[in-house]
């Protein structure tokens, strides 16, 4: 079904562009979905992208603009006049319009909004821009179908015909009282199966879920996912209906959230993708690597302190990468389970009971791994003592690493800090240092050095 962007298509397009065959280009894009056109514009040169955007009509290009990669959109918007941007904006849903205007400089925002023909739209966009980032207000659209509880089904149908033209998808019809306060909802289905002389107040469903305009967008996503909602109305503190959030916006929030957690776990400090410049990628990668470097220097200083042990028990030193790796792996595993549990709201019980469970778990894992390591050292080195020292310290290191991995995200979460930063390099680095220190201390104790 989806049209794959073939190289033949691109060749044809380039040929038409070279020959300025505007009509042919328009025709080429006629049957192509705007999401596919956005992908094509990612592929062609920047000048060609501008050329195509200016050629196609704004009904189509407005959709394309919302789909484009942010970097490319920014460059394209720089090349359009305030009036041209206003024409595009005029075709968009209010939430997309506000998002795109929000990317412009304050001064350009002003000019684009002034260039809008539709005063109501301008007011809606200004309102949406006024809400804080990552709140329900910043996510919602003003488009919705609203009816008054006093209307009849027939009257309702008549008026909905007017409102519905502006609303891409009618999920729910929201019922308000004369002060515009939300009192219930209806589906189109309910209207269709009702009798035409019934009053809305008699057929509305009054158990309508709504979120406050200042609610956190991730919270809204959780609520919609939990209750399987496809749209949710947004109200102010007085329950006045302000807008609605649809599930496609939530899909984006969930995806962004998952991407962010994944990147934090992988040691990337900001949202990057593989096509970003080397400089952007360096900015995202270097800070965590630097942390790793500091940790490595810490491990160096600790090991230097145990230098005297080398002559008799050199193999202790050769096992430090193993100890560090195990401490890091266990820490990441336990922190990832907690971070994911917190994200899915299913971490219950006290911190202490969590730590107790993790201790048993780490002890069990540690014991199995240590047994294997003991056999290896015993057979390979021929020394029961060294084997015992290394294996016992491995168990201790794994337990401590598991406890740190469990405690840190729970602690951060209690303090209102995103626990996801506790995964990845942060845990690995601190566990490396603690692991190596514990390892040498215990091994020294057992070997009686």
CA distance 61 to 57: 6
Contact call for residue 445 and its own copies (CB under 8 A): no
Any residues with CB less than 8 A from the CB of 92 and at least 6 apart, and which? 62, 63, 65, 66, 100
Stretch that binds its own copies, among 6-14, 46-54, 100-108, 189-197 (CB under 8 A): 189-197
Of 65, 68, 136, 268, the one binding its own copies by CB under 8 A: 268
**Smallest gap, in angstroms, from Cβ of residue 113 to its own copies?**
25
Site for its own copies in 269-298 (CB under 8 A): 272-275, 278, 281-282, 285-286, 288-290, 292-293, 295-297
Site for its own copies in 1-20 (CB under 8 A): 1-2
**Smallest gap, in angstroms, from Cβ of residue 271 to its own copies?**
10
**Smallest gap, in angstroms, from Cβ of residue 115 to its own copies?**
27
212, containing H or E segment: strand 211-212
**Smallest gap, in angstroms, from Cβ of residue 126 to its own copies?**
25
Site for its own copies in 355-394 (CB under 8 A): 357, 360-361, 364-365, 368-369, 372-373, 376
Site for its own copies in 155-174 (CB under 8 A): 157, 160-161, 164-165, 167, 169-170
Q: Show the DSSP H helices in 344-383 as ranges.
A: 351-381
Contact call for residue 209 and its own copies (CB under 8 A): yes
Contact call for residue 47 and its own copies (CB under 8 A): no
Stretch that binds its own copies, among 80-88, 109-117, 198-206, 318-326 (CB under 8 A): 318-326
Contact call for residue 449 and its own copies (CB under 8 A): no
Site for its own copies in 416-435 (CB under 8 A): 423-425, 428-429, 432
CB 177 within 8 A of CB 189: no
Of 336, 389, 397, 403, the one binding its own copies by CB under 8 A: 336
Site for its own copies in 17-36 (CB under 8 A): 31, 33, 35
**Smallest gap, in angstroms, from Cβ of residue 123 to its own copies?**
25
Contact call for residue 226 and its own copies (CB under 8 A): yes
Stretch that binds its own copies, among 46-54, 113-121, 343-351, 441-449 (CB under 8 A): 343-351
Q: Which is nearer to its own copies, 80 or 422 (CB)?
A: 422
CB 437 within 8 A of CB 391: no
The residue written with tokens 């955007």 in the block is 53
Distances (CA, A) of 227 to 224, 230, 439: 5, 9, 49
């Amino acid at each position: 079904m989806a049209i794959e962007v073939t190289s033949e298509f691109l060749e044809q397009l380039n040929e038409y562009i070279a020959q300025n065959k505007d009509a042919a280009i328009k025709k080429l894009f006629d049957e192509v979905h705007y999401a596919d056109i956005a992908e094509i514009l990612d592929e062609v040169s920047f000048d060609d992208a501008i050329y195509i955007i200016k050629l196609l009509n704004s009904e189509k290009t407005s959709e394309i603009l919302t789909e484009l990669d942010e970097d490319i959109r920014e460059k394209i918007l720089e090349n359009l006049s305030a009036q041209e941007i206003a024409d595009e904006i005029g075709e968009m849903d209010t939430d997309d319009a506000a998002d795109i205007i929000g990317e412009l400089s304050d001064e350009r925002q002003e000019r684009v909004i002034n260039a809008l023909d539709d005063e109501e739209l301008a007011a809606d966009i200004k309102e949406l821009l006024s809400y804080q980032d990552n709140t329900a207000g910043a996510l919602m659209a003003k488009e919705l179908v609203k009816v008054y509880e006093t209307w009849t089904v027939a009257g309702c149908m008549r008026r909905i015909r007017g409102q519905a033209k502006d609303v891409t998808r009618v999920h729910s019809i929201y019922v308000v009282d004369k002060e515009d306060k939300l009192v219930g909802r209806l589906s189109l289905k309910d209207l269709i199966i009702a009798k035409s002389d019934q009053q809305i107040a008699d057929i509305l469903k009054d158990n309508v879920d709504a979120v406050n305009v200042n609610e956190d967008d991730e919270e809204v996503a959780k609520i919609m996912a939990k209750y399987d909602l496809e749209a949710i109305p947004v109200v102010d503190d007085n329950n006045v209906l302000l807008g609605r959030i649809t599930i496609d916006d939530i899909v984006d929030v969930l995806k962004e959230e998952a991407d962010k957690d994944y990147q934090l776990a992988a040691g990337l400090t900001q949202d990057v993708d593989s096509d970003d410049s080397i400089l952007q990628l360096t900015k995202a990668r270097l800070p965590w690597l630097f942390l790793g470097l500091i940790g490595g220097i810490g491990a160096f200083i600790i090991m230097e302190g145990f230098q005297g042990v080398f002559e008799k028990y050199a193999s202790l030193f050769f096992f430090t990468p193993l100890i560090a790796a195990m401490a890091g792996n266990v820490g990441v595993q336990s922190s990832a389970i907690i971070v994911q549990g917190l994200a899915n709201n299913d971490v219950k019980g006290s911190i202490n009971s969590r730590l107790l469970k993790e201790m048993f778990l780490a002890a069990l894992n540690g014991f199995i791994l240590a047994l294997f390591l003991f056999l290896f050292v015993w057979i390979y080195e021929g020394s029961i003592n060294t084997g015992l020292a290394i294996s016992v310290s491995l168990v201790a290191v794994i337990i401590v690493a598991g406890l740190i991995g469990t405690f840190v995200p729970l602690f951060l979460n209690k303090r209102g800090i995103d626990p996801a930063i506790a995964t990845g390099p942060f845990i690995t680095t601190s566990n490396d240092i603690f692991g190596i220190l514990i390892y040498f201390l215990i091994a020294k104790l057992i070997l009686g050095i």
